[in-house]
């Protein structure tokens, strides 16, 4: 019998539902299929913090996801927008994003767009802002930097949460108390103090292929380096990642010297109220977010 060498299969029907009702392994499988490093634990944390939708086909395969992370009453970041490789460029990305927009209400949105997603978001009305440099690699011992004048370092404790939230709010422009509390649960933190008051901090937690440093909040590059250095030193020889919008200056130079070259870039984009448009230094706003909590949270 001779079999036809090609066949056209009719496209299948997808239904969108709450991501909370989908098995974790299926979400994890989808992010692996597009080469993303998330572990099941990383998905678990995203699901605890945010809301989202997942599209499934007739036999329950998860073929697309999108999440949003409400921060304050009027803003959310969007992340984990993924469509299965065999579906891409057939309209599923646009369809799932339209479902997100219908669900987030009047919130302004911020997201970090990969190259593959940029055109989709532009056509949905998102405006491009600054680039994020995804820096990663096996950490090497940074040359020991002198501690900035009058500063001391110590490990962060749970009782520091209110101060960290306040510094993060000044830098980020939105209150992220719930997110910061959750991050503190799973992170080690280093704080820089002057006269007994925390003026800069860096958190570091397990993520993806190793650990991620972020957020890092500080008023100067030297302070940011001082709080990031101990995390680099602790992970020498191990995979470490840090996402920053700092393009030039002592901080990104320090990150590169620590064995974390720029691996990729994503573009911050916003819809509604401008987000991540100008650098905090340019606007005279201090402190500054030197490293993102993650691409999904901004
Ligand atoms: C980005 C992604 C979600 C887009 O999903 P999709 O199902 O391909 O989206 P659509 O089919 O609705 O296409 C939307 C637009 O993007 C364009 N597009 C799709 N894939 C593209 C690619 N690899 N490069 C450039 N443009 C692309 C399409 O042509 C379309 O534009 P048009 O309507 O003007 O022709 C999908 O490619 C993906 O999961 N990529 C890997 C993970 C990722 O990068 N996620 C984005 C996180 S911000």
Q: How many C-beta neighbours within 10 Å does residue 90 have?
A: 11
Q: How confident is the model at residue 10 (pLDDT cuts 50, 70, 90)?
A: low
The pLDDT value given to residue 7: 84
Give the number of the atom of ligand 1 that is nearest the alpha carbon of residue 117. 1
Nearest residue to 31 (alpha-carbon basis) of 75, 79, 72, 76: 79
Distance 117 CA to ligand 1 centre (A): 5
The pLDDT value given to residue 12: 74
The Cα-based distances of 282 to 5, 67, 101 in angstroms read 61, 31, 31
Distance 88 CA to ligand 1 centre (A): 6
Nearest residue to 80 (alpha-carbon basis) of 58, 57, 55: 55
Tokens of 115: 């190259």
- Identify the weakest region by mean pLDDT among 140-149, 177-186, 266-275: 140-149
Taking the C-alpha atoms of residue 171 and residue 169, their distance in angstroms, rounded to an integer, is: 5
Give the mutation target among 30, 68, 93 for probing the ligand 1 site: most ligand atoms within 8 A of CB.
Answer: 93
Fold agreement between 15-106 and 134-291: yes
Q: Under a CB-based contact definition with an 8 Å cutoff, are residues 62 and 29 in contact?
A: yes
Q: Which residues' Cβ are closer than 6 Å to ligand 1?
A: 34, 81-83, 87-94, 113-114, 116-117, 119-120, 123
At 114-145, the pLDDT tens digits run 999 999 999 999 999 999 999 999 999 987 77
Class of domain 134-291: alpha beta
- 186 pLDDT above the threshold of 70: yes
For ligand 1, atom 13, the nearest C-alpha belongs to 89
For ligand 1, atom 14, the nearest C-alpha belongs to 120
Domain positions in the chain: 15-106, 134-291
Give the mutation target among 94, 115, 117 for probing the ligand 1 site: most ligand atoms within 8 A of CB.
Answer: 117
Give the number of the atom of ligand 1 that is nearest the alpha carbon of residue 88. 8
What does residue 148 show for φ and ψ, rounded to 5 degrees? -55, 150
Taking the C-alpha atoms of residue 64 and residue 92, their distance in angstroms, rounded to an integer, is: 7
Which residues have a Cβ under 8 Å from the Cβ of 176 and sit 6 or more positions away? 71, 72, 165, 168, 169, 293, 297
Taking the C-alpha atoms of residue 143 and residue 131, their distance in angstroms, rounded to an integer, is: 27
Give the number of the atom of ligand 1 that is nearest the alpha carbon of residue 36. 42
CATH 1.20.1050.140 describes domain 15-106: no
């Amino acid at each position: 019998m001779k079999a036809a060498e090609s066949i056209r299969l009719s496209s299948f029907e997808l239904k969108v539902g709450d991501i909370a009702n989908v098995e974790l392994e299926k979400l994890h499988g989808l992010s692996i299929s597009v080469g993303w490093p998330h572990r099941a634990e990383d998905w678990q944390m995203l699901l605890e913090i945010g809301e989202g939708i997942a599209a499934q086909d007739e036999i329950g395969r998860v073929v697309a996801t999108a999440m949003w992370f409400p921060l304050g009453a009027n803003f959310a970041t969007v992340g984990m927008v993924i469509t299965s490789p065999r579906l891409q460029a057939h309209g599923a990305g646009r369809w799932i994003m339209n479902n997100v927009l219908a669900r987030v209400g009047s919130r302004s949105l911020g997201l970090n767009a990969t190259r593959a997603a940029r055109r989709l978001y532009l056509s949905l009305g998102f405006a491009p802002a600054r680039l994020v440099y995804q820096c990663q690699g096996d950490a090497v011992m940074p040359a020991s930097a002198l501690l900035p004048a009058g500063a001391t370092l110590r490990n962060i404790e749970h009782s520091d949460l209110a101060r960290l939230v306040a510094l993060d709010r000044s830098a980020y422009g939105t209150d992220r108390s719930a997110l910061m509390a959750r991050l503190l649960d799973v992170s080690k933190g280093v704080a820089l103090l002057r006269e007994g008051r925390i003026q800069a901090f860096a958190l570091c937690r397990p993520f993806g292929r190793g650990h991620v440093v972020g957020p890092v909040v500080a008023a100067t590059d030297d302070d940011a380096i001082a709080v990031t250095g101990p995390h680099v030193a602790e992970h020498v020889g191990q995979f470490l990642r840090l996402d920053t919008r700092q393009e030039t200056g002592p901080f990104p130079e320090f990150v590169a010297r620590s064995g974390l070259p720029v691996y990729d870039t994503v573009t911050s984009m916003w819809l509604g109220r401008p987000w991540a448009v100008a650098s905090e230094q340019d606007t005279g706003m201090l402190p500054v977010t030197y490293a993102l909590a993650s691409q999904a949270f901004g």
